[in-house]
């Protein structure tokens, strides 16, 4: 083993009398940063910002509901009442799905171009993941299986990890095993950072990029990213992600979304099924071109 990462978790952040979880705080900051990035892109291209704010509001509510509802099938073995408790576990995949469905529905209600706005949302989805995962790193959540990889996280006696890792605390405090363990959240952050860069490269450098390429590029990449990362997640400890056959629920959903997105990308690009992105086509989709 070359080295490992180790630092004390910060589960609670205090500002005056307020005690905040950095996990929830960074998830909220991630949404705001993603929304700001989408708004800036919409402003640059001349789309209606007032309508976009309404879309983002619906997307926020949908993401919260989706993040909770998505986990229910995976926890039905604990009993229906336990599985549907409002403050149970949450899923980032469910949050994305709920936000996209609710936001897309609102787009249709407002009569705006769904495909153009979804493309703009891809940047926000990627950077929101990056920022949100920082919260997971603060509280040390989503540790995976043991590893000798240099990015592995080493638990130390007395560390107060995220609640899902209480079992690891017991092992380490008892002198049995302190890791290192795969930091799945860090891998997700790094992958989302690369994805964000690729989205900007494609959007700015690919002259003939078509509408729909960016959002399906995001879903193809992130779905496969989650499928691969979950192989290092620890499914043997209490509170770990539930499995369905050989894969976790997130792996199944990530794999299916990724494969479907790749197929749609091929259909769009090879079949030239959507227009090439341009200011004129944006105007046809409702954008207001700058005068002069």
Residue 42 domain boundaries = 12-284
Check residues 166 and 131 and name the one with the higher pLDDT: 131
Residue 85 falls within a domain, yes or no? yes
**b/e sequence 150-171, b meaning 16+ C-beta within 10 Å:** eebbbbeeebebbebbeebbeb
> Residue 143: pLDDT band by 50, 70, 90 thresholds?
confident
Q: Say how far apart CA 57 and CA 42 lie, in whole Å.
A: 16
Residue 3 falls within a domain, yes or no? no
Residue 291 falls within a domain, yes or no? no
Residue 234 falls within a domain, yes or no? yes
How many domains does one find in the chain?
1
Residue 6 falls within a domain, yes or no? no
Residue 95 falls within a domain, yes or no? yes
pTM of this structure? 0.88
The pLDDT of 61-85, averaged and rounded, is 67
The pLDDT of 275-280, averaged and rounded, is 94
Residue 262 falls within a domain, yes or no? yes
User: Could you report the per-residue pLDDT of 171-202, keeping only the tens digit for each?
Assistant: 676 666 677 899 999 999 999 999 999 999 99
Residue 129 falls within a domain, yes or no? yes
User: Could you report the per-residue pLDDT of 5-54, keeping only the tens digit for each?
Assistant: 888 888 776 777 777 778 888 889 999 999 999 999 999 999 999 999 99
């Amino acid at each position: 083993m070359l080295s490992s990462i180790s630092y004390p978790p910060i589960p609670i952040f205090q500002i005056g009398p307020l005690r905040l979880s950095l996990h929830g705080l960074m998830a909220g900051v991630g949404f705001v940063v993603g929304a700001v990035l989408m708004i800036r892109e919409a402003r640059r291209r001349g789309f209606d910002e007032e309508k976009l704010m309404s879309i983002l509001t619906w997307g926020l509510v949908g993401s919260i509901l989706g993040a909770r509802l998505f986990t229910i099938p995976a926890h039905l073995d604990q009993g229906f009442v336990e599985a549907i408790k409002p403050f149970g576990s949450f899923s980032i995949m469910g949050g994305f799905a709920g936000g996209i469905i609710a936001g897309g529905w609102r787009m249709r209600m407002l009569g705006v171009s769904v495909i153009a706005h979804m493309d703009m949302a891809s940047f926000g989805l990627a950077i929101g993941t990056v920022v949100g995962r920082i919260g997971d790193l603060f509280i040390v959540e989503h540790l995976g299986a043991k590893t000798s990889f240099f990015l592995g996280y080493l638990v130390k006696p007395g560390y107060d990890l995220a609640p899902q890792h209480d079992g690891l605390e017991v092992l380490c405090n008892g002198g049995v095993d302190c890791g290192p363990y795969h930091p799945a959240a860090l891998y997700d952050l790094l992958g989302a950072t690369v994805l964000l860069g690729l989205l900007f490269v494609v959007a700015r450098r690919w002259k003939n990029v078509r509408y729909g390429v960016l959002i399906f590029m995001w879903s193809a990449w992130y779905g496969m990213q989650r499928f691969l990362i979950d192989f290092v997640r620890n499914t043997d400890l209490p509170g770990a992600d539930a499995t369905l056959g050989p894969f976790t629920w997130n792996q199944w959903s990530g794999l299916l979304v990724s494969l479907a997105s790749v197929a749609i990308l091929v259909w769009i690009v090879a079949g030239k099924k959507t227009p090439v992105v341009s200011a004129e086509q944006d105007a046809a989709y409702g954008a207001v071109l700058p005068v002069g």
